[in-house]
Each structure stands twice: as structure tokens, then as C-alpha cells.
Chain A
Amino acid sequence: MIDLADVSRWLLDPLERTFMQHAFLAIIMVGVICGATGAFVTLRGLAFMGDALSHAIFPGVAIAFVTGGNFLVGALVAAVIVSIGIGTISQGGRISHDTSIGVIFAGAFALGIAIISVQQSYARDLNSFLFGTILGVTRDDLALTATVGGLVLLALLLFRRELTAVAFDRTFAASRGLRLWRWDQLFLLLLALSIVISIQTVGNILVLAMLVTPPATARLLTDRLTTMVVLSSVIGALCGVVGLYLSYWQNIPSGACVVLVATAVFLVVFLLGPRAGLLTVWLRHRLHHGHPERDAGMTRPAIATSTTDPLAGDTDQP
């Protein structure tokens, strides 16, 4: 028997502390923003680019840190230089996009480490950059996250059709007069902004999970892009909240908790999802083969031929 008083203490206790209130607000915003941006990242196959950007903005943040400048500006300048650099190197044709991402991001990351190592507090700074300092989120940080995040979401809403057209069919988008290069750069900018405002919360290494795992989970649950973006944001925020509770009570770093929860949710949906879950499809097969008489009246074939399960519409499951 679960004691209600225990549950409410588990849920409410952390909320009485200001730093936890800030942390919850921050992780919810990061979950929503990364979930929405991440949906386009996964559809365009840009996961590696997301990883690269998150590492490549390191020197920008490091320079800002050392010189006492604004870390957001430093990160953005670095992100723009890196994304243009990657595009330029891969344009010649001899070096693939993939390879040029690899070259640039490792180099930029190393530069960041070199810069930050001149500081006395090197180890602590590096650690906070890599894993985030969610418990140190201030009121100003929250305002900044809300402003930048709001702009990113507004841009995604305004330009969702163009971004979708460019992601789905580049040739057609170009024939319609959309300048592919500009739309690509706009998207990379939105991606860079999403990453920058997430770094304090989940850290540089784990931000990729916030960009990729919730959208991947959402894609397993729906075949509609709009639904996917909304679901991905909700999943991202929920995983953030649950992860933060776990981190508070189990004393595990918050970034790790959040990502572990998101990964667990993905695995559960992958195995048991109502539409295309691995076990769900297998069970459905078993049940169908076991009931030839009942299946005789069915018009749709009982064999799943693709990831979009043709049986998804059937409701006569026991």
C-alpha cells in the first residue's frame, strides 16, 4: 500500500526550494524547445550535426567565460562560424558532409578546452559546461531561456511549412523558389539557439539526447508531423520533470537522470507502442495466426510489411 502522504512529500518537497523551482521551469522549457526543434533534426537526419554544433560552440562559450562576455553571444558566433565552415568544406565534393562535421567539431572542442584551461578553476568550469549546472539556474537565466526559446518556437511555427518542404523534397522546394541555403542556415541557427539555452540545464554532452530521443519516441507514436512536434515537446518536458525528481531524491546528476528517463521511455514505446511496438506487432501476429476463423472475415492482410503497420487501424484486439 502506497502512502499518499509519502507520495505528496516526494512530489512537493522539492518544489519548496527556490533553486528547484528554477530547475523545474528550466527543464520544462528546454524539453519543449528541444522537442520541437529536434523533430526537424531527426526528420532531416541531422543528429550528428546537432552533436557537432553542441560541441563546436564550446570555444565561443569558453572565450566569453574567460573574457567575461555574454556566453550566449559567444556561443552563437561560434555556431554560425562552425555551420558555415562545415558547409564550405563539404561543398568541394571530395569531403563528405559527415566527415567535415567530424573534422570541425573535434577541432573546435579541443580549442574550447585549451582556452578554458587557462583558468584556475579549470576542472570545475569544464565539468559544469559538460554536464550542466541546473541547480544554479538564476532568475535571469530563466528570462533569457524563455525569451530565446519563445523566439525559436515562434520561428518554427511561422516557417513550419517551408522547413517541412525543404526537409521533405528539396528539389521541389527549390523549384517553388525557396532558397535552400537560406532555409538551411535559418534552421541551423534555430538549432544552435536551442542548444545554447539547453547547455546550462542538461550540459553539452547530453543536449543531443533532448534533441533526438523525444522526437524519436514521438515518431513511433504518430504519422503526423504536427502531432509529432507537439508530442515530442510534451515527452521532452515530462521526461525532464521526472528526471529531475529522480535526481533530487536519488542524488544522481540531473542531466544523466533526465536522459535516462527519456531513453527508458523510448525503449518502452519501441517495444510496447500501440502502433508499431516490436512486441505489440509480434503479439498481434501470434494472436492473428492463432485465430484463423475470426481473421477470415478481415479484409486487410495480417502481415506487417513496413514500419507503418497496416494493422494499426484494427480495433478488434483482445
Chain B
Amino acid sequence: MAAPQPCPPPSRDASPILSLEGVSVHYGRRLALGDVTLRFSAGESVAVVGPNGAGKSTLLRVLAGMLTPSHGRLTRHPGRDGGRPRISYVPQRTGVDWSFPVNVLDVVLMGLPSDGPLARLLPFRRAAREQALAALDRVGMRDYAHTQIGELSGGQQQRVFLARALVQEGDVLLLDEPFTGVDVPTQDVLLAVLAGQCQTGRTVIYATHDLGQARQAATRMLLVNGSVIADGDPRSVLTAEALRSTFGGQALIIGADELAPSVTGGAQ
């Protein structure tokens, strides 16, 4: 597969799509995310980087509107069709039971909006199936449309989840750890699809704990650990100080002298 063209850096006057103002999230008494103020624009490709438990998933859930913050608020600016922006979400694939009795096509069809009271009595329309198959084509999984999901590899599962988000044709694509534990072909498909999304003016925001991955694919990087530690283009964000306060003593920083241009190490 040809190397995907990276997304252009967003221009300063790009229209905003989602913004957070002073958002905090508590789980019980524990503060998961504190005082976050951020603005996301159309066409951005944003990597949210931080260690486990840093609040990456929490941030994505707030952006998806699934989690109401305990303080602050989320503003949704008009999407490409002028209405409320549509959000597509790719959850962590380890969160579901892969022995569930459905095939790949069934899973992708779950991404389509609900039918009206009469249409929902019938099987999916032909157009809906075609749409799902086209999405599977884009992630290289069309041949697996009728395969039982339990027979897929981890990377294939991830691609099916991506196809399910693609049929939603959202203005914002949120992905929770899409690169974790996937094979190289899947990684290539993910990079190509994500690049294609932001080139068509969609916003891509994904969580990752892999710094190298984030630097390669994102035009903007957020370092998160309970709050936002750094925000900007990957080169300016990756400073020794920012990494230390994100990953604490866990960070293995290679070539610390010339850190900004050449960070290659991740954090484990």
C-alpha cells in the first residue's frame, strides 16, 4: 500500500467543530480529567497521547457526548451539512464479546441510523447493504462480509470496527486506541483511511499510547495525564519536560538532547 499523504496542518481560521470549556470529569470522588479547554477544527488529525488511566478514553467519551462532564461544557458547532455535527466512534475492540452470533456485515450494518417504524420490520434495504459493503471495501475486508466475527484476527476486528464507523459518515471520527495490538497491514489501512478522512474535511481524534505512531500520523498532538499537559504540532509538543510530566518516571527518552525533532521512544 502506498504511504498515505499526511493531512495538511489546519489553517488558523478553520471552522471549529467541537470545543470544550473548563471540562472536568469525576468518577465517584476520583478526578479523571481536570479543567480541559480545547477547540477542535474541521480537517484536523489529533493524537491524544498519555499513559494508561490518563483520561484519554474519558476525553473521547465526553467529545462523543456519551459522558456528561461534572463541570464545564461541550459545544458542538455546525457540521458540514449545517446541522449538529455527526460523531462516529470506534471503541476499543477488547470491550466486546467476539463470540456473539453475528457476521462481519451485521456488525457494519449496526453503524447505520435507525429505520422508521415500518422499515424496521423488514430486513435491511439493498442500498444499506451496498453501503456497508463499500465501507468494508475501504478497509480491505469485503471478502470477509459473511465471516463469523469470532474467526477474525485482532487486526481484522479493528478494521471491521473502522468500517462500522465509516458508514456513519460522521463529521468527527473518534477512535479509542485503534493501533493497539494490530498487524502491519491493518496499521497501513488505518493510516490511509484516517488521512483520507481529514483530507475530506472531517476531524479525526484518536487515543494512543504510542508516541512514534502519533508523530507519524497526526497534525496535532495532545499530551494528557489527568489534564492537558501540552497541545500543538507534534514537533513543538514533544519536549523532555512535557513527556516527563505526562509519563512520569515511566518515560524512556532516547536522544534527549535533540528531543523535539527525533523522539522515537514510546513509553511503557
Residues of A within 8 A of B (CB): 43, 93, 157-159, 161-162, 164-165, 167-172, 174-177, 219, 222-225, 228, 306-308, 310
A225, B64: Cα distance in complex, Å: 29
Is B1's CB within 8 Å of the partner chain A? no
Residues of B within 8 A of A (CB): 28, 64-66, 87-89, 91-92, 95-97, 99-103, 106-107, 110-111, 114-115, 117, 120-121, 148, 150-151, 161, 164, 168, 174
Known interface pairs A175-B65, A175-B91, A224-B101; 16 further A-B residue pairs with C-beta atoms within 8 A, sorted by A's residue number: A158-B121, A159-B120, A164-B102, A165-B110, A167-B100, A168-B102, A168-B107, A170-B95, A172-B91, A176-B89, A176-B111, A222-B101, A224-B102, A307-B99, A307-B150, A308-B150
A176, B111: Cα distance in complex, Å: 8
A165, B92: Cα distance in complex, Å: 15
B28 engages A225 (CB within 8 Å):
no
Contacts of A43 in B (CB 8 A): 100-101
The residue that B96 contacts in the complex, of A161, A169, A224, with Cβ under 8 A, is A169
The residue that A172 contacts in the complex, of B89, B99, B102, B114, with Cβ under 8 A, is B89
A228, B64: Cα distance in complex, Å: 33
A172 engages B148 (CB within 8 Å):
no
A175 engages B64 (CB within 8 Å):
yes
The residue that B120 contacts in the complex, of A161, A167, A170, with Cβ under 8 A, is A161
With A157-B121, A162-B114, A306-B150 as given contacts, are A228 and B101 in contact (CB-CB < 8 Å)? yes
A307, B98: Cα distance in complex, Å: 12
The residue that B110 contacts in the complex, of A168, A219, A222, A306, with Cβ under 8 A, is A168
With A158-B120, A225-B106, A308-B151 as given contacts, are A168 and B89 in contact (CB-CB < 8 Å)? no
A269, B216: Cα distance in complex, Å: 52
A174 engages B99 (CB within 8 Å):
no
A219 engages B64 (CB within 8 Å):
no
B95 engages A171 (CB within 8 Å):
yes
A157, B28: Cα distance in complex, Å: 38
A107, B100: Cα distance in complex, Å: 34
With A168-B100, A169-B91 as given contacts, are A308 and B114 in contact (CB-CB < 8 Å)? no
A306, B151: Cα distance in complex, Å: 9
Q: In whole Å, how far is A228's beta carbon from the nearest beta carbon of chain B?
A: 5
Chain B CB count within 10 A is highest, among A158, A164, A175, A310, for: A175
Contacts of A172 in B (CB 8 A): 89, 91, 110, 161, 164
A164, B101: Cα distance in complex, Å: 10
